[in-house]
Amino acid sequence: MSTVALVPNPHYDRAQELAKSIEAWLVERGHTATAEVGDADLVVSIGGDGTMLRAVDRAARHGTPVLGINVGQLGYLTEVDPELWPVALERWEDGRAAIVERMLLSVQVDRAEGSGPPAPDDAPEPSSDGSFLALNEVVVEKTPLGRMVRLAVALDGDFFATYAADGMIVATPTGSTAYALSARGPIVDPAHAALVLTPVAAHMLFDRPLVLTPTTKIRLEVRGERPATVAIDGRSIGELQVGEAIVATAAPTPARLVTFADRNFHSILKAKFGLEDR
């Protein structure tokens, strides 16, 4: 029998109700349901893509696969419609589920100890080495009340350019359809391994996104006179002061997502953007 960790969105009543139903189903079949991810054989995310990102952040540290049940709008990450969760779990139980691996970012923050205001209560937790994991992206951008920021970009230790912009996004292929897409970054099939560096509203002639090898180490350092904020998969970890930086590259371990191979990236794109056959 298996141990299954349930991670419902705490703000969705329907997610909480589904979690109770799933727990009862698991116990009836002899499995153990828990809220602790560390010892689980499977993590079930119940919510939207935001809930899935938080579940992946916790599960990837242990190499645990994550199954996403969608209780929101159409998402890229959540695999199962809410009414089909018994079918999905039966297929997982019978060994008929597949696991796909998605590249993660490893993000190191280089700043003075105690710099800036404390991180918000819902900030992601760093790994034991102080790095953060991201399935979608890390964003360095202007503060809510600030004007544009100046960010010096270095690639593998070599200075590349200083951008004057609202911010910069370092995304994975999975994250290319998240914030980076709204900044006119390229859409990259999530089966690839790459880093996508996308400026947000750059105030300069060169404003094109870059698609880089996954082993590239991208350093974004705050220059000028204004601080910047840092967010990882949509959750703020606080401010960077002038001279402070983040370094992003591919994480050594991937995220592991449960799939049933009955939908693909291209069909999700078509549904998301309303692309009809003509």
Give the catalytic positions in this structure. Answer: 49
- 136 token code pair: 């979608």
The contacts found for 58-62 with CB under 8 angstroms, 24 or more apart, are: 58/7, 59/5, 59/255, 59/256, 60/104, 60/133, 60/135, 60/251, 60/253, 60/254, 60/255, 60/256, 61/127, 61/133, 62/37, 62/38
CA neighbor of 174 nearest in space, from 64, 89, 251: 251
First to last CA, the chain: 49
DSSP labels, 9-64: -TT-HHHHHHHHHHHHHHHHTT-EEES-STT-SEEEEEESHHHHHHHHHHHHTTT-
Number of CB atoms found within 10 A of residue 88's CB: 20
Question: What is the Cα Rg of the chain in Å?
Answer: 20
